[in-house]
């Protein structure tokens, strides 16, 4: 008896083989190829960013000579302007220095000044801190002008941001014949170097009280 080939199974073999190839391909893609392709993409991006950083760093190192020259220039500028800054970097230090400086200038021209409130400190994005103080004084016009002149022309960089001069009612009633008597109220501001990492005022200090000062 001649054997009959199993044609049905023979016909199924290519389909089973194709199915196996498809499933194997999908499995290979999911398990190996897709993660590898993702890794390749990630590595390429890393290479791109690293190359960009390398180019920047190389350009930076090539500018070392120019940087040295620039350093010398800005250092000289800073040294020239350093006397105009208020001393002290710790919180409260510049405010006290500003108060002492204004009091000293007032004393030189014979004006008694009062600081009714504590100083306000405001950080500056440029690396400076701005210290503000409210100043009151009872003086005549000559004293007021001498005080203002002394503050503005002194060695420290002080700015009078607000100024109120008021002639007293006594003078008005006297019709200008009585001795001059002025109420002086002003807000002075000075600058100091911010300490390293100083971005905000300390928690116990108000960030700004300009409105209150006015």
Partner 1 sequence: MVRLFGVRDRPLLLVGPEEVSASVPAGRRTATASFGPSLPTQCVDVNLDSSDAVAGLAEATAAVREELEVPTGTIVDIALMRPLVSVRTAALPPTAPLRLVRLLEVNAARFFPWTDATIASVLSVSPRRRPQPSAPTLIAGVRLVDCETISRGIIDGGLRIGRMTAAPLLLATALASKRSRSQTMSGGESPEPVLFLTPLGSAVEATMVQRGQVLKTVAWPIAVGTGGTEADRQARCAIELLQLIGDAGWAFSQVILPDGTFASALAAALPDASLAFGEVTTACMSTATDEPIVRLLHAGLAAAVAPTAELFTPDAAATMKSRNRRLAYAIGVTAAVLLVGMPGVHLWGLGRELSYVRDARSAIAESAAVALETQTTIRRISTITDRLAQVERDRTSWSSMLMSLAFELPKSAYLLAVDGGEDGLRLSGVTGDSVETREALLRRGRSGVSWHAAFDEALGTVRFEAESEVPIAGMSESGTFPAGESQR
**Interacting residues toward partner 1 by CB under 8 A:** 1-2, 28, 32-33, 36-37, 39-40, 43-44, 46-47, 50-51, 53-54, 57-58, 60-61, 63-64, 67-68, 70-71, 74-75, 77-78, 81, 84-85, 124, 126-128, 140-142, 144-146, 148-149, 152, 157, 159-167, 172, 175-176, 180, 186, 191, 193, 214
CB of 87 to partner 1, least distance (A): 15
The residue written with tokens 């306000």 in the block is 120
135 vs 208: CA distance, rounded Å: 16
CB of 71 to partner 1, least distance (A): 6
Q: Which is nearer to partner 1, 38 or 204 (CB)?
A: 38
Count CA atoms closer than 13 A to 202's CA, side-chain side. 9
Question: Quick one: 167 or 200, whose CB is closer to partner 1?
Answer: 167
- Residue 42 or 112 having the CB closest to partner 1: 42
| Cβ proximity to partner 1, 103 vs 181, nearer residue | 181
As a whole number of angstroms, the distance between CA 193 and CA 196 comes to 9
Select 96 or 193, whichever has its Cβ closest to partner 1.
193
CB of 203 to partner 1, least distance (A): 25
Least separation, in Å, of the C-beta of 91 and partner 1? 19
CB neighbourhood size of 17 (10 A) = 10
Query: Whole-angstrom Cα distance, residue 103 to residue 117?
Result: 14
SS3 43: helix
| Cα gap 73→60, rounded to integer Å | 18
Residue 204 DSSP SS3: coil
Min separation Cβ 212 and partner 1, Å: 15
Which three-class secondary structure string do you get for 55-74?
HHHHHHHHCHHHHHHHHHHH
Q: Which helix (H) or strand (E) holds 45?
A: helix 34-62
CB of 191 to partner 1, least distance (A): 7
CA–CA–CA angle 169, 174, 179 (5° rounding)? 85
When the beta carbons of 90 and 164 are compared against partner 1, the nearer one is 164
């Amino acid at each position: 008896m001649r054997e009959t080939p199993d044609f049905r199974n023979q016909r199924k073999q290519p389909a089973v083989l194709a199915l196996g190839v498809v499933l194997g391909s999908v499995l290979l893609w999911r398990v190996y190829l897709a993660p590898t392709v993702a890794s390749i993409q990630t590595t390429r991006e890393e290479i791109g960013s690293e190359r960009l950083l390398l180019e920047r760093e190389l350009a930076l190192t090539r500018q070392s000579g120019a940087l040295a020259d620039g350093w010398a220039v800005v250092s000289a500028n800073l040294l020239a302007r350093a006397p105009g800054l208020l001393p002290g970097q710790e919180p409260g230090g510049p405010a006290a220095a500003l108060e002492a400086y204004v009091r000293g200038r007032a004393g030189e021209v014979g004006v008694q000044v009062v600081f009714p409130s504590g100083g306000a400190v405001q950080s500056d994005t440029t690396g400076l801190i701005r210290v503000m103080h409210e100043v009151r004084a009872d003086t005549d016009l000559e004293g007021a002008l001498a005080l203002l002149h002394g503050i503005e022309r002194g060695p420290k960089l002080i700015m009078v941001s607000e100024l109120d001069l008021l002639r007293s009612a006594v003078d008005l009633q006297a019709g200008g014949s009585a001795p001059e008597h002025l109420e002086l109220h002003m807000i002075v501001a000075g600058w100091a170097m911010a300490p390293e990492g100083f971005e905000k005022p300390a928690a116990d200090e108000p960030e700004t009280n300009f409105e209150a000062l006015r």
